[in-house]
Chain A
């Protein structure tokens, strides 16, 4: 390369730039407006006693609310586990060279994304109307065990089936997007080293796809946290249902909505922090010292 004339030659006298910085009066106006709005908000939250902060305090840690919170957590975690495992399976099926296998996955995704979640929850709950008894046996052959559908598919099981199987369809597309984001050369390099397709997927492709899969999965998890409240349509209860049951009796609607909102925000915050850690784990080798979460900046980062 030819050196550019006079470019950064040592010894040349250094001329500091002394310029008048551009003023930004608009920014000060914006700050002033926001400050006034914030002050108004704080003022009204404190002075308007119809917020019922005493009621909020009274119910925040009450047994029915904590019960509902537990159900929300259990439903979210288990549905997401079903959704993620099912989603990975469907995404891998979708990429299968066998058109029947890939078509089956596509049909599943079409069906479960294309119908309302409420309808799916109701369907699983009323499965017994369609099949009063479920049995295990050889297809078209003898049956080994047979049980009453209503005993096997409890309300809780119907919730999990509805939320989890629906989530799997969405997760399948997220995982597929992640798998597609990994360069084909990676699977080829793994194959050339003697790894089977399954080994290459597990060790090479999936860990890299995770970088792309994790952020939307965090989205889905946070969304699921609140979607679980739909289980009320089949008579199950979780956090929001618990809050509403209480306010139906004492008519303190706003305070109990605040109680529910508090817990949803608390859980969402925890999930956001957790997502930061997971992202940092799968970001290895891509961006050095990547700040995983803005809530928890790594020491040394600005």
Chain B
């Protein structure tokens, strides 16, 4: 079976700072992989490399067997055109820490936007799909509300529906609950739990250890640009093998 995500030897620097220092990671289809680690460990950057929001300096990133951002021909890498990168991103949904909903559009318009603009879906079909998706995240009653009129948890659920509208095969979550008030975290995690139950492949950068333990199939602990430890969430969380993992977990658990 082709892995959904296959990162090998990923390096990435911002100026003189090396943020990723040789990452190898494999995520199988249907797998929910959670990435934890202290801030500045490079976990968000790794996620952003998966859909080429960040360009990697070294290594290979493959999604569903296809090289991201490049194609290989005659033993050489060729950069993809912008339109080809955009095409690759259609299959990879992303949810951001700060939601990044389009504030000038209603919830339904946010969900309809990409299918309408990118795929050329008819207005009626996009509207119908958007209503179904908003229903799925429990927000059909708020479909005509603007993001500014929604709570953080509601905004993040709209953002998930927006990403799902492109029918992605992989979903990336970049600390989806970190900007939320504590009492709103649950509703977003519930939606994500539902997605996982439906068999969606998910790569989740998170600080929610409970979610990682309960929903995750695998857990990756990153520190200082490398993967320190990975394995089944239960094992890593309850019996970490590395000192750095242990000290991190002792602070957050």
Contacts and interface: CB of A to CB of B under 8 A. Distances in A.
Size class of the B contact interface (CB-based, 8 Å) = 20 to 34
Interface string B131-147: 00000000000000011
Given A185-B98, A286-B148, A193 B166 contact: yes
Most buried by B among A183, A193, A195, A208: A193
Size category of the binding interface on chain A: 20 to 34
20 contacts: A185-B98, A186-B102, A188-B53, A189-B96, A191-B86, A192-B92, A193-B89, A193-B94, A193-B162, A194-B86, A194-B89, A195-B86, A195-B117, A196-B82, A196-B83, A197-B82, A199-B118, A285-B147, A286-B103, A286-B104
B100 A193 contact: no
Contacts of B82: 196-197
Contacts of B149: 288
Q: Which of B86, B87, B94 has the most CB of A within 10 A?
A: B86
Interface string A183-212: 101101111111111010001100110000
A192 B51 contact: yes
Given A185-B98, A189-B159, A192-B92, 9 more contacts: A190-B114, A192-B51, A194-B86, A195-B117, A207-B104, A208-B103, A284-B104, A285-B146, A286-B103
A186 B102 CA distance: 7
Interface in A153-196: 183, 185-186, 188-196
B146 A284 contact: yes
B163 interface: yes
A200 to B, nearest CB: 9
Contacts of A194: 86-87, 89-90, 114, 118, 166
Interface string B79-117: 000110011011011101010111111100000011001
Contacts of A190: 102, 114
Interface in B6-53: 51, 53
A277 interface: no
Nearest to B90: A194
Nearest to B105: A285
The 9 closest A-B pairs by CB, nearest first: A194-B90, A285-B146, A189-B100, A193-B114, A192-B94, A185-B100, A194-B89, A285-B104, A194-B118
B114 A195 contact: yes
Nearest to B91: A194
